[in-house]
A = this chain, B = another copy of it.
Amino acid sequence: MPRLVHDTSTILDAAARLLAAGSADAITIAGVIREAAVSSGSVYHRFPNRAALLAAVWNRAVQRFHAELTPLFADEPVAAAVALGRRTVSWCRDSPADARVLLAGVGSFEPAAWPAESRSLRDADQARWDQHIRRLVTDLKTVTGRPTAEILLVVVDLPYAAVRRYLGADREIPATLEDIVERTIRSALTTPH
């Protein structure tokens, strides 16, 4: 049994690098072969087709992100919302490649073409995540009295927006951004209205 010469993560890293240099469609098999210095045989030994490779890139990034954030749901609702926002920012700073993957959105990864295996993996992940979010949203509704759409905007979309400006332009995420995000979340959730 010959050892694996190339690690699968080498290939996924190369793909993520290609994405960072352009869009998700910049992830071509030919490009990965060049970037990872690997033969096409190697790639196709691991992934039946391009869609499966894209799926792996996406799922890996999402799993890492979720692994980092899920513990934070344990806090009190407002504290959890703030912690999620802060951690989203710091995670993006520490894992820019994965962050760029999430920034592109699943839609860029042609999920319609994914093999069943990849799809169910994603579905399971997503279901768990959605459940956490739903629970947090209902808790925040009772605590703050805001409508669902407002809570989603402040808790989910706002940290994403904060980070997008810098990731998209390949600029450093400022050190003060966590504080800014925290202040904005707090004022939006606790201002009387």
Contacts and interface: CB of A to CB of B under 8 A. Distances in A.
Q: Per DSSP, are chain A's interface residues mostly helix, strand or loop, or mixed?
A: helix
Nearest to A179: B150
A105 interface: yes
Interface string A103-147: 001011000000000000000000000000000000000000001
A154 interface: yes
Interface stretch (A34-42, A60-68, A183-191): A183-191
A180 interface: yes
Nearest to A170: B107
A154 B23 contact: no
Interface stretch (A6-14, A47-55, A73-81, A160-168): A160-168
Contacts of A71: none
A147 B156 CA distance: 22
Nearest to A23: B108
